[in-house]
Amino acid sequence: MKKIPLKIMLFIISLALVPALIFAAKENKTAELVADKTNFNFQTTREGIDVPVSFTLTNVGTGVVQIKNVLKSAGCLAPEKLTKNSLAPGESIKLEYLFRTTGSGGKTVNKWIHINYNNPRLSPLELTVTGKVLPVEPYQAPLGELLFNFYILVDIQSPVEFAQEHFIGAVNIPNKQLGQWASNLPADIKKNVLIYLCSKDGTQSDQAAQTLRKKGLKNCLSLVGGLQEWKKQYQQKLLVSGKW
């Protein structure tokens, strides 16, 4: 068997190593995601005041970062949508949340955020949101409580009847003007706000509620029996006269 010269042998070996070297070079392009801070500490805030939370994420690796998903520990962290899920080397992106404090009064907060991306060794990138939420004072109420309990009470009696007797806090929209008033309501109020209609014995408000619901105000309800039935059951409770 003819012996192969050493130089030729070395050349053949080097050719065989080229694919491996190319593969190794590709493998060395590593995606690595870091944040400007791993903990966002908002110190203290009052229940009912939402806290903007922001992290800056940067790809400090040599490969492209592909963000797979972002997980969080609680629904009170309302996220903004990421503008992109792919980051080239050196590229940064903002990760922003709104921490809703309603229901957390008197608690020390410790919430986590996990960012899963295409580096099994370093993923997930773990972030935390911490701080203390002060309870409301006896004279305060969180805004979310108002939103949850909010409704509009509309008395459709004539102005003269309204001045004689009505629920405290009610607004007077006479029946003849009710359709125009309802048509001028903003779309979000028509969709989301409960509207109670009240009349002297409930007859007019029943008819008005049916008409408005046919026009799309599905949250419009008539108080059964009106003021007359209310007085039978609760006497003068919550009723006033004159202008309030």
pLDDT at position 77 is 86
Q: Which domains does the chain have, with CATH numbers?
A: 33-134 (2.60.40.10), 150-240 (3.40.250.10)
Taking only the tens place, the pLDDT of each residue in 159-183 is 999 999 999 999 999 999 999 999 9
Specify the pTM: 0.67
Compute φ and ψ for 173, nearest 5 degrees. -120, 95
| pLDDT for the residue numbered 143 | 84
Which pLDDT band holds residue 10 (cuts at 50, 70, 90)?
low
Do residues 130 and 113 make contact, with C-beta atoms less than 8 angstroms apart? no
